[in-house]
Structure 1
Amino acid sequence: MKRLIISSLFFLVGFSAYAQRCGHGVMASPEMKKRHEILQRFIDNYNPGNSKNAREQEGIIRIPLVVHVIHNNISGDIGGEGNSNISDEQIFSQIRVLNEDFRKMFGTRGYNEHPDGADMEIEFFLAQTGPDGAPSSGINRVYSSDRTFDVFSDLERISGLSYWPSDKYLNVWVVTLAGGYLGYGEFPGGELDGLDLADSPEETDGIFIDHEVFGDRTGTASAGIYTYGRTLTHEVGHWFGLLHTWGDERCGTDYCEDTPQIQRENDSETCREIFSRCDGISRRNMIENYMDYTPDSCMNIFTEDQKARVRAVLELSPRRRRMVLNSQFLLPSTDVTEFNVLSNPGSRSELKFQVLLPDFQDFTIVSYNSLGREVARKAYLDYPSTVISAEELNLPPGMNIVTMQTAGEIYFKRIYLYE
């Protein structure tokens, strides 16, 4: 059970509206409280003006993310009802929500007008380069014969199926969790002097999340009150060092002064107002905070103090700091559209197309043979930057002229596929 001491859990029985949550009971142990206090002393003593990395921490921080889809669909089919091998579209919808929430984007569910509401100035993108330097879509699909995984005992086994270095990428493992658990986020405390634990390996530093709550009302995340993508927002908050707003004990502390002290989590199925009396005065709970247990549709706020805590952790945690520094070498183009061919000429499994886009948008890839006859066409709707294989497009062998067209641009590439 040591792992619970350094981790955060988001729990739901049967994913039903009648949920009971757990995890905070163990986290409220004297050992965990002591470790939170040690981390807080690091943060209290943190001076960004003296940090050798302060320049890199200014402005927008971009986090490269890899999604490991661990599924038991032996056919390899992607998407469809109940299929744990979830679609690209479901994954993209989750990345979009994560950015809406951490950037407090106007016109989205992640926007609020609260005076303490913060734009965290953190963005997430699917990594376009893998650990070996080869282009990647940032999505790894791995078959496992296991139908479910236990959040207490199977984390090493999950990461053993697919893992990228956690000082360069945020690993997100999308699985089927047993026991009704929604997700797990590794807390950064194990990486700081005085907080080291033997069972906090780099290989499990990331997020483990059930596929039925990963994404925004699409694919397998379509029914229930936890299907707006906020479970990942919550767990990433833990990964950044944020505590639950009630401090995992009655009227506890999350070390953020602008989040009201509350008696307990909001585990209701609605967005009704809840009040606490922790100092003899009745105050409204900040049920909208991403670090509460509120239904997804209620959540829309990180606070300025939570932002300051995250910024401090990103410098104090060696692994998190290295990731921020490494991210500058992994960033896709964000200013212009590019269409590149990789491993040309090559076989259908080797030849790939790299599509770099400024933002999510629609594009279409069309291929013509040497006689000018259309031989393949595929539309990609609301996509980010990605890598597409010739095999996925089902291109025929021989010479092909391939076009990539957006709303305002068209690009041409000549390729040759081996038999």
Structure 2
Amino acid sequence: MKKVVLGLATLAMVYACQNDQMDTNSNDFQEVQVDMTDFTLLVEDEGSLTGKSVQGADKCHSMNNLAFRLENNPGLSKKMYDIEYNTRKAIALKANGKGKPGGGSGGGGGTTPTIYTGAITIPVVINIIESSPGKVTDAQINSQIAILNEDFNNNNSRTSSIPSEFAVAVADIDITFTRGAVIRKTSSVSSWGTNDAMKFASQGGIDATDTANNLNIWVCEIGGGILGYAQFPGGASATDGVVIGTDFFGETNAGGIYGHGRTATHEVGHWLNLRHIWGDGRCNRDDFVADTPTSDAPNYNCPSYPTVNCRSTDMTMNYMDYVQDDCMYMFTNGQNDRMRALFVSGGPREGFVN
């Protein structure tokens, strides 16, 4: 098992002191404290996932890509820590009724804004690297945009079958995705891997388009049975976005149980700062969301209900698990708050609303 461990305990102590010192000048400090003791960027390589899925697919390599980015960008850990601190403070302010939660600017009381509450529209630039012109069809593109809009607006028809235990947690994220530019390039590269080569024209790929105001999705042959991966907020703008394997983009027969567009939903969740629902660790590792149950590993295929781990029922139908596309159909209110904290003034995704 490969582990990348950063000095986050030290980092937490230093920055917590700095943030608390700044907060003493804020009207919110006495009412809102931010606990960062559980925050980690520990990345565990789960090894080969072949056999855990009936299709033998390695669903998501976002954490592996994060490990690669952390090793090559010494400042990334601090950026991600700061984003997490601001996310938690915004959520705490909302919970305590502080600030101004209005939908327009999302501005809040003191120096810390609250959760952005307005409707959000995200233009999507689709960068296609294909072996022959038109291999990725226009129908695939349109279906993928439609699926993202279903899932981020709580219009997935399967949500009606959610267990009553989780019904109260289901969220309408109120994010609309619009089809933007489609950029195509023909390439003989059969496996692009997960180190972002497809994102650079200098390496045979396609350069990103205005990542402050567009979600960039690269569609290509990743290789290794990998369905997709995403960059978390805080990373370099030149590589910001989501990568999806050609067979798993939109509605495709070639994708099998992963051919219904939910890989993009999962990866866009990461792009909006969601972790895997099991926290990428054992029972004591969390996804930093209060209304998702603790678990110790991903679920695959289409698990029966209830599936119990860590003394609680797994939310296997959450988009941030590893189940097949037809068996995932919800985000939670807590995940909604976490995503929306990114869009406030000064947040890493504010360009989409300002």
Structure 1 residue runs of 5 or longer lacking an equivalent are 79-84, 128-137, 191-199, 326-419
Structure showing greater Rg:
1
Secondary structure at the aligned position of 2:123 is classed as strand
The 5 A counterparts of 1:352-391 are none
Distance 1:238 1:140, change over 3 A: same
Aligned amino acid, residue 105 of structure 2: N
- Counterpart for residue 249 of structure 1: 281
Would you say 1:312 and 2:341 are equivalent positions?
yes
Deviations 1:343-386, CA, capped at 9 Å, x for gaps:
xxxxxxxxxxxxxxxxxxxxxxxxxxxxxxxxxxxxxxxxxxxx
Aligned amino acid, residue 304 of structure 2: R
Secondary structure at the aligned position of 1:117 is classed as coil
Identical-residue share of aligned pairs (%): 34
Of 243-252 and 158-167, deviating more is 158-167
The 5 A counterparts of 1:5-404 are 13=50, 17-19=55-57, 23=61, 38-46=82-90, 47=93, 49=99, 53-54=105-106, 57-73=116-132, 76=133, 78=134, 85-105=135-155, 108-109=157-158, 114-127=167-180, 138-152=181-195, 154-157=197-200, 160-188=205-233, 190=234, 200-216=235-251, 218=252, 221-251=253-283, 252-266=285-299, 268-273=300-305, 275-278=307-310, 282-315=311-344, 318-325=347-354
- Whether the 8 Å CA contact 2:61–2:229 is kept in 1: the answer is no
Give the Cα separation in 1 of the matches to 2:189 and 2:77.
35
1:57 CA displacement: 3.7
- Whether the 8 Å CA contact 1:111–1:300 is kept in 2: the answer is no
1:153 CA displacement: 5.4
Give the Cα separation in 1 of the matches to 2:45 and 2:143.
23
Aligned amino acid, residue 209 of structure 2: W
1:146 CA displacement: 1.7
1:102 CA displacement: 0.6
- Whether the 8 Å CA contact 2:57–2:226 is kept in 1: the answer is no
Give the Cα separation in 1 of the matches to 2:218 and 2:60.
21
**Which one has the bigger helix percentage?**
2
- Whether the 8 Å CA contact 2:248–2:255 is kept in 1: the answer is no
Aligned amino acid, residue 240 of structure 2: D
Deviations 1:313-367, CA, capped at 9 Å, x for gaps:
2226644111222xxxxxxxxxxxxxxxxxxxxxxxxxxxxxxxxxxxxxxxxxx
- Whether the 8 Å CA contact 2:154–2:171 is kept in 1: the answer is yes
Secondary structure at the aligned position of 1:54 is classed as coil
Aligned amino acid, residue 99 of structure 1: N
**RMSD between aligned alpha carbons?**
3.6
Deviations 1:241-291, CA, capped at 9 Å, x for gaps:
01111111001211111111112111x32232364453xxx3210000001
Distance 1:8 1:226, change over 3 A: farther
**Which one has the bigger strand percentage?**
1
Between Structure 1 and Structure 2, how many residues are aligned? 286
- Whether the 8 Å CA contact 1:13–1:19 is kept in 2: the answer is yes
Deviations 1:119-172, CA, capped at 9 Å, x for gaps:
011110112xxxxxxxxxx21111223222111252443685242110111000
Give the Cα separation in 1 of the matches to 2:332 and 2:248.
24
